[in-house]
C-alpha cells in the first residue's frame, strides 16, 4: 500500500490518485504550439469535433435503426424520418457530417503535403493519418449500406466484387465477405457491426496514435523553421510571451482552434438545415432490389477520384491502378527524397508537383461524376495516367532538389 496524505481539496485528492496536474501539464499547459501558423492548423480539431458529432448523431440513429433486410429501409425512411422526434435532424447531421468530414480530411492532407509535415520525425503522423483515411473510408462505405436502398445494395455489390481481383475470379473470397452469393441478410448485419463497433474502435485507437505521434516532433509551422522548444518554452514560462515563438496548447492555442471550429460549425449547420440534399442520393430512396440495376452506379463524391483511376482502363489494369492509388499516399514520406521540410512554395519542382497533384485530383473527381464517353473519357484517362506518372517521378525530382 502506497503512502497517501490527507488531501485538502478535491483537486489535490484527484491529483494524488490520477496525477491530473502532471497530465494537464504534459497534455495542455506545457504542450507547445508554434505561433507561426494559420487557420489550416485548426483542421485537426475540426475533424475531432466532426467525429464527435458523428458519434452523437449515430447513437440516436442506432436506437431506431433495424439491421434487417426487410425492415432497414423503413426504419430509416419512415420511423426515423417521420416518427421519431427530431429523427430527421440526426439523420441529416449524420449524412452531412459523413460527407463534410472527407472535405476536411482532404484539406488536412494537402496542408500536410504543402508544408512538408510528413518528414523529419513526422513520418508516423502521416502514416497514422493515412490509416485514419482508410478507416474513415471503410466507415463511410459500411454506413452507406445501412439504409438498404438501391445505391446501398448496388454499391455493396460492386465494391465487394472488387475483391474477386479481376481475372483471378476469386468468387469464393467475395462470397466469404458477403456471407452469401449476393448482398443479403448476412451482409447487412456484418456491415452494421463493422459500422457501429469494429471500425469506430479502430478509428478511436488510430486517433490516439495520431495524437501521440505528434507529441514529440511537435506541430509544424508555416515557414518550416526548426524551433528550440526548450528555449522557447523557458521564455514563455519566464513571462516573455511576446518574444517566445510558442504558445501553450491550452488555453492559448485551443481558444484560436475553437474559434475556427465555431466558424466551421455555422457552415456545417447551414448545410444540415438548408442544403443537406448533396449528402442524400435520390436513387437510395428506392428500396434495394437485386433484380433491378440503377442506370448509373457511382460512388459518393469523396471516392470519385480513385473510381476514375479504375474506370478508363481494362478490368485488370484498372484494378491495379486503383490499388496503386489507394496505397501510394501512405508512402509519401519515403518517396519524397528531399531533406527540405519547408513549404512547397520554396521547393522548386515540388511546388509544381503539388499544384498539379491538387488540380488533377479535382479533375479526376469531376470526371468520375460525368458519364464515361467522348472527351470526358479522354480527359479521365490522361488524368489517371498523370496521377500515376506524378508518383513515379516524385523520388527523382525530390532527389535533385536543392537544399534550402
Partner 1 sequence: MNQNRRGFMGYAFGAVAGVGAVGSLYAMKRSWDPLPSVKAAGFTKVDLTSCEENKLIVEKWRGKPIFILKKTADMVSSQNEADAARDVVVDGAHYTVCIGLCTHLGCIPAYNEGKHGFLCACHGGEFNASGIETKAPPPSPLVIPPFNVDGTTLVLGEEGDAYKKMKEAGVTA
- The site for partner 1 (CB under 8 A) is made up of 175-184, 186, 190, 290-293, 295
Residue 198 or residue 330: which is nearer to partner 1 going by CB? 198
Nearest distance from C-beta of residue 186 to partner 1, angstroms: 7
Judge whether 102 and 136 are in contact, CB under 8 Å.
yes
Buried b (16+ CB within 10 A) or exposed e, 334-361: ebbebebbbbbeebbbbeebbeebeebb
Nearest distance from C-beta of residue 179 to partner 1, angstroms: 5
Residue 38 or residue 293: which is nearer to partner 1 going by CB? 293
Q: What are the Cα distances from residue 101, in Å, to 11, 95, 104, 105, 322?
A: 37, 10, 5, 6, 22
Nearest distance from C-beta of residue 77 to partner 1, angstroms: 22
| Dihedral of the alpha carbons of 38, 44, 46, 49, in degrees to the nearest 10 | -150
Nearest distance from C-beta of residue 392 to partner 1, angstroms: 32
Residue 177 or residue 364: which is nearer to partner 1 going by CB? 177
Nearest distance from C-beta of residue 146 to partner 1, angstroms: 19
Q: What are the Cα distances from residue 367, in Å, to 301, 302, 363?
A: 11, 13, 6
Nearest distance from C-beta of residue 323 to partner 1, angstroms: 22
| Dihedral of the alpha carbons of 42, 108, 88, 52, in degrees to the nearest 10 | -60
Residue 295 or residue 375: which is nearer to partner 1 going by CB? 295
Q: Is 243 exposed, middle or buried (0-12, 13-18, 19+ CB in 10 A)?
A: exposed
Residue 1 or residue 295: which is nearer to partner 1 going by CB? 295
Residue 180 or residue 225: which is nearer to partner 1 going by CB? 180
Residue 282 makes CB contacts below 8 A (sequence gap 6+) with none
Amino acid at each position: 500500500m502506497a503512502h497517501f496524505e490527507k488531501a485538502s481539496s478535491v483537486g489535490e485528492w484527484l491529483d494524488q490518485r490520477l496525477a491530473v496536474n502532471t497530465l494537464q501539464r504534459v497534455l495542455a499547459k506545457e504542450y507547445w504550439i508554434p505561433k507561426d501558423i494559420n487557420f489550416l492548423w485548426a483542421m485537426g480539431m475540426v475533424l475531432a469535433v466532426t467525429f464527435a458529432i458523428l458519434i452523437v448523431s449515430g447513437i440516436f440513429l442506432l436506437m431506431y435503426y433495424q439491421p434487417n433486410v426487410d425492415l432497414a429501409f423503413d426504419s430509416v425512411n419512415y420511423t426515423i424520418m417521420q416518427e421519431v422526434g427530431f429523427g430527421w435532424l440526426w439523420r441529416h447531421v449524420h449524412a452531412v457530417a459523413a460527407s463534410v468530414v472527407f472535405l476536411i480530411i482532404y484539406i488536412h492532407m494537402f496542408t500536410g503535403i504543402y508544408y512538408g509535415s510528413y518528414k523529419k520525425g513526422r513520418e508516423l503522423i502521416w502514416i497514422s493519418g493515412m490509416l485514419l483515411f482508410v478507416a474513415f473510408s471503410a466507415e463511410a462505405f459500411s454506413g452507406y449500406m445501412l439504409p438498404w436502398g438501391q445505391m446501398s445494395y448496388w454499391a455493396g455489390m460492386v465494391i465487394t466484387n472488387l475483391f474477386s481481383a479481376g481475372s483471378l475470379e476469386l468468387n469464393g473470397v467475395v462470397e466469404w465477405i458477403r456471407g452469401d452469393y449476393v448482398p443479403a441478410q448476412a451482409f447487412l448485419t456484418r456491415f452494421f457491426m463493422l459500422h457501429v463497433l469494429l471500425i469506430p474502435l479502430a478509428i478511436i485507437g488510430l486517433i490516439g496514435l495520431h495524437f501521440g505521434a505528434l507529441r514529440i516532433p511537435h506541430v509544424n509551422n508555416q515557414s518550416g523553421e526548426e524551433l528550440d522548444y526548450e528555449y522557447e518554452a523557458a521564455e514563455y514560462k519566464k513571462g516573455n510571451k511576446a518574444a517566445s515563438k510558442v504558445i501553450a496548447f491550452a488555453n492559448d492555442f485551443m481558444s484560436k482552434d475553437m474559434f475556427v471550429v465555431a466558424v466551421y460549425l455555422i457552415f456545417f449547420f447551414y448545410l444540415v438545415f438548408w442544403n443537406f440534399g448533396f449528402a442524400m442520393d435520390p436513387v437510395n430512396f428506392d428500396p434495394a432490389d437485386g433484380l433491378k440495376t440503377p442506370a448509373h452506379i457511382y460512388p459518393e463524391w469523396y471516392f470519385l477520384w480513385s473510381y476514375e483511376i479504375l474506370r478508363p482502363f481494362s478490368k485488370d489494369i484498372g484494378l491495379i491502378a486503383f490499388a496503386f492509388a489507394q496505397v501510394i499516399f501512405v508512402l509519401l514520406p519515403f518517396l519524397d527524397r528531399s531533406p527540405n521540410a519547408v513549404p512547397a512554395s520554396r521547393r522548386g519542382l515540388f511546388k509544381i508537383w503539388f499544384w498539379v497533384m491538387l488540380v488533377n485530383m479535382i479533375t479526376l473527381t469531376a470526371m468520375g461524376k460525368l458519364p464515361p464517353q467522348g472527351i470526358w473519357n479522354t480527359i479521365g484517362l490522361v488524368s489517371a495516367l498523370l496521377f500515376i506518372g506524378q508518383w513515379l517521378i516524385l523520388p527523382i525530382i525530390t532527389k535533385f532538389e536543392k537544399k534550402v
